[in-house]
Structure 1
């Protein structure tokens, strides 16, 4: 039997649980599968913010908790290991269920559960990389449930982004006269790639960007295993889930073009982009931003960031979410709480 784990309650100066706070972990039945969900916030009166990790299949809960836990002061933050990812990975998951449409349906069930749990009519969504495609598609489908959307590593025309990413790492290998890299990259050729060839391209991209040095891997490992809800026992599921999800979904997701699938959204939209992102080149994100129709749009550049501004510049990222996204939800009235169902602290 899988155990969801534990998360510490919010406590006051004398160690007492903070009234109205929420800190809970459980498996929710979403789309017929048990999926891991954690909800944390200093007050359930704060608007819910659902974090959609990338991949597909790459849980970023440990990163969010390490770098962005400050958001729990002003949002009720919902962390979710998506179908097939990390603590939601199970060998029995049907490969046929790993589709974009199924993930939209899973997310809708999650949103409904969150709305019922914290008593808010609408949520904010933050999507990263693959999660930014899922978030946009969901917001376009269910605008009445989403008050604001924010994205980093924002997908636009996914295929165009992959072409630019490959061209960048190939040019870097040529500039460095790295014959081993050039041989590997020329062997797989330019996109479209299958999941195996994608692993090759991304591995060399990480190497040229310095993300596979011993120091970088040690730092990442400490963050991954140092999160309060993490355990070394989670590692097998993390790795297997990422490989399973990517292999099952890459052909479909890498063909997504949001300029065609979601040319308009009915809520305020914010793109928080790393200037040096070579996984989802910001040129493609900006092209989508400029083409997108929305009631209001905001673009924030993170000059010292690559693919993960929330990791590379967490203070600036957290401030942007609070200053830009939070005010939109603050003006949305909460529905009346039925008698006898007042919000309470959870642990």
Structure 2
């Protein structure tokens, strides 16, 4: 028994040592060392509460990209080091833990819950802070998944503050996305002769479509539904995310807690999910399709979380003085992680020539 205990302690120590070494290596590898650069994390007052932002870039005089994470509730600042390094050479990138999420949540557990309107107000305050603090006339808005919904609405309303809008995994309609991906999963299940799975997916879809809110019970049902779909759909999250998270030198204790706090995520973002599940203003088509700024939409061709076909249809329906649709092949919902080099090259090429400062 003692031998087993000693082995367990030894293995645990080895695991901790490997993680610590990985964090140290990444901290050195991705440190911003240029004299003109910036690398900091801080809390600033937005919407009357302390909200967390991370700022990284090789030259503070570069244009600013404000990144809006998905979810709702899926903060990404702590693992961004691993995919945005190439972008940091030409742009200063601001990551933000939105109200009700990650570090911001743990500083303000009892703050007003986020809604779309409240987040739009917070985003406007953050944009103003960046413009004043870094002397920028405008910022570039880049959103992922849920962040594209928030970012698209904001960019459409504030062309005087936004120089370009970048959507990665464009969210079009929450419920319709589940329908489209379920139909594909059912087709593949039937093709594979798994008629019972096809039936189960269809039954689960009917249940999910009836949701009016996303409490813990409904959220668990939604997760099981997605797991059943993903038996037949391509991988949505690749195999690189785990290492980026575990070996992140920037992951705080609050982010560890948040990653394990499913109940807090669902509860704190309940009002947003209620809005996305409603029949009113829950689709990007409920908002203006006319952008006064350049628009770049980037999608993985295997994305079934925010289906590729829906993002392409949206692109074809919007008007913009300069728009471009970029496909990242053989990747799902996080092309910036799964194929970070290709993603950065494509995005930098698309931004080249656009007046962004």
1:186 and 2:174 are equivalent in the alignment: no
Q: Residue 242 and residue 259 in structure 1: after superposition, are their counterparts in 2 closer, same or farther (change >3 A)? A: same
SS in 2 for 1:97: coil
State the TM-score, normalized to the length of structure 1: 0.82
Which 4+ stretches in 1 moved above 6 angstroms?
A: none
Larger-gyration structure (1/2): 2
User: For structure 2, which runs of at least 5 residues remain unmatched after alignment?
Assistant: 1-26
1:21 and 2:52 are equivalent in the alignment: no
CA deviations 1:185-229 (Å, max 9, x no partner) are 62452525443232232233444447599xx77x53322121220
| Distance apart, 1:96 and its partner CA | 5.3
| Distance apart, 1:246 and its partner CA | 4.5
Which structure would you say has the larger RCO, counting Cα contacts within 8 Å and 6 or more residues apart? 1
User: For structure 1, which runs of at least 5 residues remain unmatched after alignment?
Assistant: 1-6, 12-17, 333-347
SS in 1 for 2:98: coil
Pick from 32, 35, 46 the counterpart of residue 10 of structure 1. 32
1:284 and 2:310 are equivalent in the alignment: yes
- How many residue pairs were aligned? 316
8 Å CA contact 1:27–1:34 kept in 2: the answer is yes
CA deviations 1:3-61 (Å, max 9, x no partner) are xxxx87522xxxxxx22211111011111221110111111110000111110001122
| Distance apart, 1:91 and its partner CA | 8.4
Pick from 249, 253, 259 the counterpart of residue 285 of structure 2. 259
How many angstroms apart in 1 are the aligned matches of 2:50 and 2:89?
28
Per mean C-alpha deviation after superposition, the further-off stretch among 55-64 and 163-172 is: 163-172
Match for residue 343 of structure 1?
A: none
Match for residue 351 of structure 2?
A: 325
SS in 1 for 2:350: helix
How many angstroms apart in 1 are the aligned matches of 2:287 and 2:98?
22
How many angstroms apart in 1 are the aligned matches of 2:268 and 2:307?
22
State the TM-score, normalized to the length of structure 2: 0.80
Per mean C-alpha deviation after superposition, the further-off stretch among 60-69 and 107-116 is: 60-69
Per mean C-alpha deviation after superposition, the further-off stretch among 277-286 and 234-243 is: 234-243
